[in-house]
Amino acid sequence: MIGSSEHPALTFGFPPDAAAWAALVLGIVCLFFPRWPLLGKAATLSLKRATFLLASLCLVSFCLSWGYFYFYLGGAPRIIDATTYLLEARSFAAGSFSFEVPEPTASFRGRFLIHTAEDPQRLAAVFPPGYPTVLALGVGLGVPFFIGPVLAALLAAATYSLAQELTG
State the pLDDT at residue 36.
58
State the pLDDT at residue 45.
65
157 vs 146: CA distance, rounded Å: 17
Chain centroid to CA 32 = 29
- Asked if 135 and 144 touch (Cβ cutoff 8 Å), the reply is yes
Entry field: residues in the chain: 168
For 91-100, how does the pLDDT look when each residue is reduced to its tens digit (9 = 90+)? 999 999 998 8
Dihedral, CA of residue 101, residue 104, residue 105 and residue 109, to nearest 10: -120
Confidence of residue 12 (pLDDT cuts 50, 70, 90): confident
State the pLDDT at residue 8.
67
How far from 114 is each of 3, 12, 57, 97, 118, CA to CA, in Å?
Answer: 44, 43, 41, 12, 12
State the pLDDT at residue 44.
61
For 101-140, how does the pLDDT look when each residue is reduced to its tens digit (9 = 90+)? 888 877 777 788 888 888 888 889 999 999 999 999 999 9
**What domain count does the chain have?**
1
In a domain, 67, yes or no: yes
For 35-56, how does the pLDDT look when each residue is reduced to its tens digit (9 = 90+)? 655 555 555 667 888 889 899 9
In a domain, 158, yes or no: yes
Q: Which residue range forms the structural domain that includes residue 157?
A: 47-167
33 vs 125: CA distance, rounded Å: 47
